[in-house]
């Protein structure tokens, strides 16, 4: 699957339907990216992802952040505008799986001594939609 074909409005509504949250409420403060324990393993940090989602400018097939996110929901807890990036990511992840996009399993990821073990756990259990 190539680029997401939803318009910004459609994607926003889809996310609202699935999370009850409003992605356009993001004020680009960066709290989510600051608190994310695995932000260094993402191709796009949570705040940047939310910004991209606002414009529906995402390439779901090639997006790594949805597989790197460990669903710790710290960003959901800390987001000062209740945008809940973690839930947005969860929604995108399920959207990807439902569109037949292969999950990135942990055999595909670089592993070295800096990789937190929680990331391994999450990589291995993210195959379900």
Radius of gyration of the chain (CA): 14
What is the per-residue binding string for ligand SF4 in 73-112, x denoting contact by CB under 6 A?
xxx---xxx-x-xx--x-----------------------
Q: Which does 109 bind (CB under 5 to 8 A by kind): another protein, ligand SF4, none?
A: none
Is 41 in contact with 78 (CB distance < 8 Å)? no
The one among 4, 15, 23, 33 contacting another protein by CB under 8 A? 33
- Report if residue 20 touches another protein, rule: CB under 8 A: no
The one among 9, 13, 55, 80 contacting another protein by CB under 8 A? 80
Question: Considering CB under 6 A, how many residues would be counted as binding ligand SF4?
Answer: 27
Contacts 24+ apart (CB under 8 A), 2-8: 2/59, 2/61, 3/58, 3/59, 3/60, 4/56, 4/58, 4/59, 4/60, 6/56, 7/56, 8/54, 8/55, 8/56
- Report if residue 41 touches another protein, rule: CB under 8 A: no
């Amino acid at each position: 699957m190539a680029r997401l074909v939803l318009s910004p409005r459609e994607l926003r509504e889809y996310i609202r339907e699935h999370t009850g949250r409003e992605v356009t409420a993001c004020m680009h403060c960066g709290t989510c990216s600051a608190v994310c324990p695995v932000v260094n393993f993402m191709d796009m940090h949570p705040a940047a992802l939310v910004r991209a989602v606002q414009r529906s400018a995402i390439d779901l097939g090639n997006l790594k952040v949805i597989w790197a996110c460990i669903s710790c929901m710290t960003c959901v807890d800390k987001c000062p505008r209740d945008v809940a990036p973690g839930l947005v990511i969860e929604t995108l992840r399920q959207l990807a799986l439902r569109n037949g996009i292969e999950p990135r399993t942990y055999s595909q990821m670089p592993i070295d001594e800096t990789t937190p073990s929680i990331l391994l756990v999450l990589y291995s259990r993210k195959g379900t939609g």
